[in-house]
Structure 1
Amino acid sequence: MDHFSTDRLTAERLHADHLADLVTLHLDPDVSRYLGGVRSAETTEKYLDVNMAHWDQHGFGLWALRTKDGAFAGRAGLRHILVDDIDEIEIAYAFTRSVWGLGFASEIASAMTRIGLTQLALPSLIGIVHVDNGASRRVLEKSNYLLERSTNRHGEDVVIYRIRR
């Protein structure tokens, strides 16, 4: 599952060549507003290393996303994450501002949900969303995730959505 495509996006397993695009994405304060804040190039490099190791350990992880014309659009994926000491599989996505409002988040969330529940046969997936991120909450709701609960994570108020197989 190193590659897949949707109607308008191509997804490629994260690798070292994606570092420059990820650094640019993570340095954008608007993109990073609900992702814990702007990340330095060094922090993004560590993030990339951790996510490449996730692929090696679990056989799935984050993908770099490109539009059909080859422009970097963001990153998205499925990854193990500890939530209140429970190992969960999170659906995660972040897009460059240039593609906001075009429906790419809903398109990729639908594809990743299908991959997670059908191809990987995972029992459930969660989405963790900052309470004020209405756009991301709507993406998960359109993908049939149900609001499970509110919590505080890393000092931020978030909501957790879940979908089950």
Structure 2
Amino acid sequence: MSSIVLSSDRLNLRKMGKEDVHLLMEIFSDPEAMRYYPSTKDEDGAMNWIHWTLDNYTKYGVGLWMVEDKGTGEFLGQCGIVPQEIDGVIEMEIGYLFVRRVWGNGYATEAASACKKFGFEQMNLSKLVSLPDINNIPSTKVAERIGMNIEKTITKWGKEVYVYSVYA
């Protein structure tokens, strides 16, 4: 099993592996969880996502991590730090996507907060961003709860997204 990258009070975040495709499908096959993405994903799409994540680990030393309940090991979602191009510049984004059955428990905020701390303390980043769809109120609230503020609105992935940012 992949190693734990970071932990918070209730959560362990560990590296993603190809064996996680079935876990990710709980999110990717759910139209409600994927509402702000272009579409749901099949297993091939989930495997492409895993390959993209593994590539980020190699190139940047970070990527999305699997979020698990510290006590039970139950899969809750994914959260991590991923490179995103914004106006021609690569920025490091805190991204998060959780299974619908655990929404409303504060897991996204807790995981995103741990990633923010990791980005500033372990990676020595000076800035982190988050790019929620302008209509995705729960995701904007997570960004705000971890101390981010709206910097601007951009068009990315064919839609309007906020650029939330926070500085070390």
TM over 0.5: yes
The offset of 1:156, in angstroms, is 1.2
The CA RMSD over aligned residues, in Å, is 1.3
* Correspondence for 2:161: 158
* Correspondence for 1:69: 72
The offset of 1:79, in angstroms, is 1.1
* Correspondence for 2:47: 45
Distance 2:121 2:74 in 1: 29
Q: How does 1:3-152 map to 2 (within 5 A)?
A: 3-67=5-69, 68-152=71-155
Unaligned runs of 5+ in 2: none
Q: State the one-letter code of the partner of 1:34.
A: Y
The offset of 1:23, in angstroms, is 2.1
* Structure with a larger share of its residues in helix: 1
- Determine helix, strand or coil for the equivalent of 2:32: helix
Distance 2:18 2:58 in 1: 14
TM value normalised by structure 1: 0.95
The offset of 1:3, in angstroms, is 2.4
Distance 1:128 1:40 in 2: 24
State the percentage of identical aligned residues.
27
Q: State the one-letter code of the partner of 1:66.
A: E
The offset of 1:2, in angstroms, is 4.5
Q: State the one-letter code of the partner of 1:114.
A: K
Q: State the one-letter code of the partner of 1:145.
A: M
The offset of 1:92, in angstroms, is 0.3
Unaligned runs of 5+ in 1: none
- Determine helix, strand or coil for the equivalent of 2:79: strand
Write the deviation string for residues 37-60 of structure 1: whole angstroms up to 9, x where unpaired.
Answer: 212211111110011111122212
Matched residue pairs, number?
165
The offset of 1:145, in angstroms, is 0.5
